[in-house]
């Protein structure tokens, strides 16, 4: 859907449609793409709002927009049986997204957590406030924006491709905080992922920066990791990669997830 939407946007941004109106001859009708508001879920079931360029949204011009709700992965695909419900990891499997305000009252469970990207049209009225919440924890998963008294939305160059999520990845920067230790991540020939420190499987870590040394032996399965505030997976190795590489990640408190396939995910906690 994103591919076709991008093609449509590029075409409409550079051309006008000529419509025949009988004896009156030809009339030029301008066609433009609607800007998009991206409601980005994090793995800890919180929300943020960004625009087509990925910038935080606090106030917009009134008018017609696309609303794009995204989760880092389809939440219902994660096995959460051994996780305490009060952790709100992946919204306990099913988002309960609600967007309300003048003229807008939208709710979705993202097809019971099986969908990670949903786009719907909405029109926002002038001088109004709109609030997005997840009803699993509405006092925590809450984000809002206001509309101006006048103005019109600005058409983006390309939509449906913005609002890219972040994975809290921390690159090696001179003068940054020290690295606590190096963690050994392995992807076996069969695509099985393990994460160890000193030869022992990891279940708990102290918050801080860690270097992940990844030995990927499977050219068909990449290794990804998700933190509690991640709105997109951190890619440690791509699906076609085979070899060894390192990446530094700042591990923040909460539950972290790593996997080569959502069918075989593993967790560790950071405090």
| Residue found by looking up tokens 């709105």 in the block | 231
In CATH terms, the superfamily for domain 179-270 is Cupredoxins -  blue copper proteins (2.60.40.420)
For residues 78 and 265, the answer to whether their CB atoms sit within 8 Å is yes
Cα dihedral 47, 49, 50, 51, rounded to 10, equals: 140
Choice among 32-36, 63-67, 185-189, 201-205 with the minimum mean pLDDT? 32-36
Q: Which helix (H) or strand (E) holds 202?
A: none
What are the structural domain ranges in the chain?
34-147, 179-270
For residues 8 and 157, the answer to whether their CB atoms sit within 8 Å is no
Each residue's pLDDT tens digit, 226-252: 999 999 999 999 989 999 999 999 999
User: For the chain, what's the residue count?
Assistant: 271
- Check pLDDT > 90 for residue 37: yes
Q: Quick one: fold of 34-147?
A: Immunoglobulin-like (2.60.40)
- Identical fold for domains 34-147 and 179-270, yes or no, is yes
Residues 6+ apart with CB under 8 A from 216: 186, 187, 222, 223, 237, 241, 242, 243, 244, 245
Q: What is the pLDDT of residue 221?
A: 86
């Amino acid at each position: 859907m994103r591919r076709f939407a991008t093609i449509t946007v590029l075409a409409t941004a550079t051309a006008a449609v000529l419509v025949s109106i009988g004896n009156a001859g030809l009339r030029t009708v301008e066609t433009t793409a609607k800007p998009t508001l991206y409601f980005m879920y994090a793995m800890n079931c919180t929300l943020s709002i960004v625009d087509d360029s990925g910038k935080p949204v606090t106030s917009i011009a009134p008018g017609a927009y696309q609303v794009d709700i995204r989760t880092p992965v389809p939440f219902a695909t994660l096995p959460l049986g051994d996780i305490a419900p009060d952790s709100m990891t992946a919204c306990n499997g099913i988002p309960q997204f609600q967007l309300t305000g003048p003229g807008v009252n939208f709710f979705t469970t993202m097809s019971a957590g099986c969908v990670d990207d949903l786009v719907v049209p909405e029109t926002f009225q002038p001088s109004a406030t709109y609030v997005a919440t997840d009803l699993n924890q509405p006092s925590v998963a809450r984000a809002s924006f206001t509309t101006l008294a006048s103005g019109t939305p600005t058409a983006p160059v390309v939509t449906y491709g913005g609002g890219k999520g972040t994975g809290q990845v921390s690159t090696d920067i001179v003068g940054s905080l020290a690295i606590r230790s190096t963690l050994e991540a392995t992807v076996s020939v069969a695509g099985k992922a393990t994460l160890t420190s000193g030869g022992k499987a990891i279940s708990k870590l102290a918050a801080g920066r860690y270097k992940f040394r990844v030995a990927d032996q499977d050219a068909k399965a990449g290794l990804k990791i998700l933190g509690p505030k991640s709105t997109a997976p951190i890619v440690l190795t791509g699906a076609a990669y085979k070899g060894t590489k390192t990446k530094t990640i700042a591990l923040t408190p909460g539950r972290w997830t790593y996997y080569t396939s959502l069918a075989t995910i593993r967790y560790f906690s950071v405090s």
